[in-house]
Amino acid sequence: MERLHWVRHRCRQMLAGSCGRGWYSTPDAMSSKTSMDTHSAPRGDSGKQRTVFALHGPHQQESVFSYKGNAICTTKYTWLTFIPMNLFEQFHRAANLYFLFLALLNWVPVVEAFQKEITMIPLLVVLTVIAIKDALEDYRRYLFDRKVNNNMVQAFCGKQKAYIYKCWKDVRVGDFVRLSCNEIIPADMLLLYTSDPRGVCYIDTANLDGETNLKQRQVVSDLPLQGVEFTAESFQCRVECENPNNDLSRFRGYMEHPSGVRVGLHNSNLLLRSCTVRNTESVVGLVVYAGHDTKAMMNNSGPRYKRSQLEKHLNTDVLWCVLLLIIMCLTAAIGHGLWLKNLKEAVFQVNMEMSPALAGFYVFWTMIIVLQVLIPISLYVSIEIVKLGQIYFIHNDLALYNNQLDSRIQCRALNITEDLGQIQYLFSDKTGTLTENKMVFRRCSIFGIEYPHEENARRLEVYEAEKMEAAGRSVTLKSGCSGRSLSCKHSSVSLHTLTAEEEEEEEEEEDQLSSHSRPRTSAFCSRVTKEVVPDPELLRKLNWFCSSVLADSSSGTASSLELTYIIDFFLALVICNSVVVSSPSQPGHVVPDTQTPLKSLEEIKLMFQRLTFSPFSAFSSLAPPQIKGRPQGFTRRLFGRGKASSFSFSTPTDRSEAGREGAQKTANSTLEVDLSSREEGGDASKTEDRETEDYFKGARMNLEGAEEVIEDLTREVDCERDPDDELLYEAESPDEAALVHAAHAYRCTLRGRSAEGLLVDLPGMGPLAVQLLHILPFDSNRKKMSVVVRHPLTGQVVVYTKGADSVIMDQTPRGSEQEIYNHIREQTQSHLDSYAREGLRTLCIAKKVLEEEEYEEWLKGQRLAESSIEDREELLLEAAQRLETNLTLLGTTGIVDRLQEEVPETIEALQRAGIKVWILTGDKKETAINVAYACKLLCPNDQLLTADCGTKDAYAALLEELKVEEQCGEDSLSPSPGFILVLDGRTLEWALQEEQRSDFLELSQRCKAVICCRSTPLQKSKVVQLIQDQLGVMTLAVGDGANDVSMIQMAAVGVGISGQGGMQAVMSSDFAISRFKHLRKLLLVHGHWCYSRLANMILYFIYKNVMYVNLLFWYQFFCGFSGSVMSNAWVLILFNLIFTSIPPLVYGVLDKDTPAQSLMEQPELYRQVQTSKVYVPHMFWITVLDAFYQSLVCFFVPYFAVAGSSVSELSFGSPINASALLIVLLHQVIESHTLTWIHVLVLVLSGGLYFGFVLLFSLFCVTCSPPTNPVGVETLEMNQPLFYIICVVTTVMALLPRLFLRALYNTLHPPAGMDQVDSETYRRDMQRWNLIHSRANKLPLCADNPGLEPSSS
């Protein structure tokens, strides 16, 4: 086989050289220019491109050494820079700067409030904790970098003239690197050589984008023959390419040979760092990007950072706290000034020489230091810790784990968990998000004739029935990723057919029964996808390539033109894709030599000449066109474009019931030959007619046994495939896999692929080599894919195109001179609409035959676009649009995309939760509406408001009509239905314009849901931005493909689904899930909990800070506003930093205001949190007022209890501090909805830590808090009963109002659904109690006691 490839490759090169028309040969107009540019081009980065020479080649003196090396360094610090850089980063936070300012301020003698060291404790603790965390993270990055940089690879050494092993970090731009199979690519390399004689290699990009299907890469064209050892010394080319960027799907540049010939470079020529070479013995590449310039490193941005709405509100409240602090300090400053002014005789030392104003100024700054706790520095650190704890529990939730894919939820954005509880609008893609994106071929239409594939439909129904039987039972599955044994439960059946779990279950059961394990599973090749049952009618027509026996006249045969359409249709399915072919026994993706030798072109032409004399023209149930002309030209006309001068046509009919009756009538007269149509052909025509009549006589003799022969052929199609030789198809999309498998069911098989051609099987012809000239890949602008090939039968240049019907139908000529083309177009459009109403995904197939001159003209523009660096995308788009015009419509396909499990239940729950769900899809309107009905976004009584306008004025008029219609529906006395707005892409473009936005928003707000069809990725992001900015709501976007990335990044919360559409959406998302159903628990449970926990925790932090600071403030009224405190400085600093800091963390991570089951069963509870808004401005002020009240009680109850006594200030402060601690801790108990042993343990430890600290402090610390002496104070106070009486009375008086108001509020406003929950709990408890006591007492069963056992009497 390799020798055959070698001969074919060499012949192509010789032919290309002789005719002067290679794929990348330089146009004549460019020759002089390129030769001049060889010497004048810059040798380094200039503008937007870089120049690369071989580092050890003949131009090594011109090599550029300014490019980055291949060593990577993802660490932020070194041993020398850690402390200064980390401090610099931490002091970017305003809170840290504030406390640094206070620490420095306390060193000023005139405003000093505490010991200089004490005020630095809070700042040092926070800085140290964060620095340790940063150091550990950076050390892990350092270990990873060292491991990667020390990996070994073979690089060419100029001195030794051989490949030697180097570390990755020593590889440079311009090095030649040789890799073997299963080696990881160390840098972005230009592929120059591969051991595959076809010049291709395969890479696994799972490390880069998570996609497991293999990608094909090809050697730069016009390089020396592959399969022969590459010599690095002879490489003298110059590479010009774009500067490094992070676009994984784009690479622009050209390679200039010493002769001046330029060869365009593409993404298919580039091997990306971190990918793995697969199924290729060896490759050699030239490093063009190294280290941090590689695309993999430029895409490594780390965790995403977004500011949540709660964080924004917190910043506002912190500013209010600052304002409150300033007011309190000003009050103290003014009070101290007035006190000094009115002081007559000082009983203690006072500086009487200082003016009251200056003294008040100093006291202002002293009070800033004393009341610094009012600004919650520890709150920011606590929020980060709490969010990490919340993410841990979300990440380990088994309900969000997919055991089929062995994947769990990924939390990529670490600081917006609470936003999950505030979602108001959800924007969802359809394909791959609501559906499986696992396509199954269902039916097709060719030549305007619909082939329903009824047996295929029954096959899918059998799968669905099997799924229903298997629902609920547990089976053992083997993960495709890890190979571990997993257990899964199945849910209800989805749209049209079974869900993916049953499919994977059947696959794995087959694997377990087989004795030989498959070395590699191919992407999108499930059993339900592969086992397509052919349509009998279409199969009979294709069997003309297998046998010369005519079919039964009752079923009819194919006309010559129809046969052309059928063959071209299946040929397009086989070759218009990027599918990689492999075999279980051939891991190298090289299809083994076939036993059937290749038929020569002459043999095939002779076969078709023989078929020309068969009665195609008359012997047809569809009244086919009559063939004119000599038989020698039939092959070219058969697979040609079908011009008006070649054929005369009659109109085909659809395969409806009426059409079948007509076909039967036509079949009865199939042997009547219209000889008059051939009179103008002269004697030659008469000769052809006589020969045709002879064939008709032979046909009559064979009609009796024709049906039996065709049945045998049909059975052969199902039996001839040997499982051992089964081909594996690695497709980049499930659509491609489904179509290739459908063609394979009709024995139109893709057997091999190379950079220059394909090997295909057609029925009755054996393997055919198809020369591949160009591939125009699919993109979201064109919405189609095309391949340019040289037809294997006619030698013509043919363009095969597949894509969305909206763009293909626009490129097919309307009002054609040939009536049959118009009829084909009309019938195909009718079938497209029918498929869409069934919810099928549709693709149109078309072709175009190019004349040689036309192809040459297009080729010049294409080569120019390919060799351009700037504006390459625009030039390639223009070239593709010039080619993809005036297409001949071949047919269309209908593919089932099954709905994911539990999607209807999830959407229904989200709507009950008050979340508006929008579908933004690129599919047809009918398909989107059908899926919306299937997933219960639309209900039977909902009313559709459809907007499909081609002009701006028409849209404005229609919008007014829709608003009136919607208003009339709301004003009617009957129950108002929900309104669903449906827009197509053109209408959406008008709706997004500035002057139409307000009307569109007004109408959409009144609608239950909105469906945007035919929308582009840019339109999706604009819709999300419009709703988010104009309505000020919290949005969530969910998608699974690259076309959803812009929408996901635009939304406040982006969710990616790791499905069949690759990992681009996941890499751009904030949260990544594997199934749409996981949104239900993620939002309704975890979102609800996270928001409620964080909101209440922030309010609690503000409460305890304000409450404790006010104790110090009230004391100023009794000490002349001097800034003195009634507690030692250590307790003052550590009260909020340590003693009361841990319980809020446990509260923020573990508190559950509502059980998860209640939140899932009653989604309305999610809406209640949105409407009540736990953390809103008025709640902040209520919390502050409550803190003021509790501080008044906590201060003045001890004050009046010891009034008139001779207690010291520390003795007075001891019961105040103890009471404050008890109040703060018990306040959290009142606010908590969940109390576990962890809560109790933390509360006890916090109280015990405080009392233990103050007792030890009073026993041993003599000079710890000058000028006061705390020795013996606490031990003396705690030995007196009055201390405990004060603590109890103070705590009860402070908490009693909050406890009373909480009980009153819960009584007047019980949580929605709690009555049902309580009654259900009560019913279960009573049944359990009755059951226990009935067994003991053997009571008889009665209606009032359903839990009792029936009496035996």
3-state DSSP assignment of residue 310: helix
> By C-alpha distance, which of 254, 250, 252 is closest to 237?
254
Catalytic-residue membership of 1029:
no
* H-assigned helices in 752-871: 805-808, 819-837, 852-866
Instruction: Measure the CA–CA gap between 647 and 645, rounded to whole angstroms.
Output: 6
Give the separation between CA 831 and CA 873, rounded to whole angstroms: 35
Quick one: which of 1125, 1142, 1143 has its CA closest to 1133? Answer: 1125
* Residue 987 token pair: 């209408």
Give strand ranges (E) for 412-469: 425-428, 435-446, 449-451
- Quick check: 63 and 161 in contact, CB under 8 A? no
1265-1282 CB burial, b ≥16 within 10 A, e <16: beebbbbebbeebbeeee
Question: In 3D, which of 17, 448, 519 has the Cα closest to residue 222?
Answer: 17
Handedness of CA 986, 991, 996, 1002 (dihedral sign): positive
3-state secondary structure of 911: helix
Contact 1040, 1074 (CB under 8 A): no
- CA dihedral (153, 158, 160, 162) positive or negative: positive
What CA–CA distance (Å, rounded) separates 853 from 1166?
67
- DSSP symbol at 794: T
DSSP state of 57: S
Instruction: Return all residues near 1284 (Cβ < 8 A) that are at least 6 apart.
Output: none
Q: Of all helices (H) and strands (E), which one includes residue 133?
A: helix 121-149
Which runs of consecutive H residues, i.e. helices, occur in 1054-1208? 1064-1067, 1078-1081, 1088-1116, 1129-1134, 1142-1150, 1156-1161, 1164-1172, 1177-1201
Question: In angstroms, how far apart are the furthest CA atoms of the chain?
Answer: 143
Q: Pull the structure tokens for residue 754.
A: 């190379």
CA distance linking residue 308 with residue 285, whole number of Å: 46
Q: Between β-strands 1009-1012 and 916-920, what pairing exists: parallel, antiparallel or unpaired?
A: parallel
Residue 1160 burial (CB count, 10 A)? 15
- Rounded CA-CA distance 1136/1108 in Å is 9
Distance (Å, whole) CA 1001 – CA 991: 9
Scanning 720-818, the segments in alpha helix (DSSP H) are 734-745, 805-808
User: What distance in Å separates the CA atoms of residue 1086 and residue 982, rounded to the nearest whole number?
Assistant: 32
Pairing of strands 979-983, 1009-1012: parallel
Catalytic residue among 429, 735, 923, 1153: 429
CA separation for the pair 623, 618 (Å, rounded): 7
Alpha carbons 203 and 611: distance in angstroms, whole number: 45
Question: What is the distance between the alpha carbons of residues 1197 and 1215, in angstroms, rounded to a whole number?
Answer: 10
- 647: nearest Cα among 876, 819, 477, 859: 819
Strands (E), 862-1021: 888-899, 916-920, 943-947, 979-983, 1009-1012
DSSP-derived letter for residue 695 is H
Residues with catalytic function: 429
